[in-house]
Amino acid sequence: MSDPLALLQSAKVTDLGTSSDLVLEGQYLEAYEAMLDAHNAGLYVGLIGPVGAGKTALCRKFATDLGKPFDWVTFSDLVRPSNLIGSFDPTLVFKFGFDPEAFSPGPFTISALEGGVFLANELNRGDEYVLNTLLDALEERRLYIPALRSWYQVSDDFYLIAAMNPSEHRGTRKLPSAIQDRIKVWVELGYPKKATELKIVRGQCTEYELAPAQLELILGLVEATRDDPAVDRPASIRTSIGIARLAAERAKRQSGEVTNAVLAQAAKLVMGQALQMKPGRNRKKYLDSLLTRVLGTTGT
């Protein structure tokens, strides 16, 4: 039987990505070293942290440094086994019939057989039936592809990282014991310290001239949402970057100066949907109050 991976090699794009949005210090350095030790010990690792804490960037850098392809799936109720393993491509079935040449491997299959790093993102949002698809590959180093009715040998270089939101987040589930038992090392990540986040934001805004005081104000806005009991999902690192970049662009088009009013305008546009409030709290009123408190203006 033909190797389904070989059929796609000419078209496949290997995404090793870039790790330029990660500053490897503090919690990230500690997590990276724990991941490296776990990898070398033959143990799978799980990362637990809020949305936008840098888990994916850390995993991407880890794969890049190992020289391995990086693939991932973000789990939810909509992810089915075929999204992981693969399925027949209807257009190719029309040409080849239900033959291996018509099979399109999923990202988990590609990573497992090629020996890549696979990120099971938001694993605790997945259905138990779907998560069980991973078990044989993790324990027995073999993968069954139902569509091809065959077992395939998982590469010795294959490595899985699970990333999860904290269990108290909405939409999460308790991991099945069979899955949890196969992930031996658990690393907790929070939002980085201000100094580290400043370096990350600067690294993502190198084409803009943002004064240190302006960056401090942006992080002041973002950090305030992380300590507020009224906020269910606070602003992430991506929010900090988004405000900085949008404010710089708006300033170029307007006065040329990144004023507090420009920062407030950018913050409204970026944070408007980034924040998720606790029940009964009004997001617009909260944001106006936050902008007034930190920037002295709502930008209007």
pLDDT at 8: 45
Which range among 92-96, 104-108, 257-261 shows the weakest confidence by mean pLDDT?
A: 92-96
Q: Which of 106, 181, 173 is nearest to 138 (CA)?
A: 181
Instruction: State phi, psi for 181 to the nearest 5 degrees.
Output: -65, -25
Whether the predicted pLDDT of 18 surpasses 70 = no
Whether the predicted pLDDT of 9 surpasses 70 = no
DSSP annotation of 117: E
pLDDT 10s digits, 143-198: 999 888 899 999 999 999 999 988 665 657 788 999 999 999 999 999 999 999 99
CATH number of 194-295: 1.10.8.80
pLDDT at 13: 47
Query: What rounded mean pLDDT belongs to the chain?
Result: 89
27-188 has which fold? Rossmann fold (3.40.50)
Confidence of residue 90 (pLDDT cuts 50, 70, 90): confident
Confidence of residue 19 (pLDDT cuts 50, 70, 90): very low
- 152 forms beta bridges with 143
CA dist., res. 259 & res. 247, Å (int): 9
CB–CB of 183/46 below 8 Å?
Answer: yes
What are the domain boundaries of the chain? 27-188, 194-295
Q: Token pair for residue 111?
A: 């990573």
DSSP annotation of 101: G
Average confidence (pLDDT) over 198-220: 93
- % of residues, the chain, pLDDT over 90: 73
CA dist., res. 179 & res. 125, Å (int): 13
Q: What's this model's pTM, rounded to 2 decimal places? A: 0.84
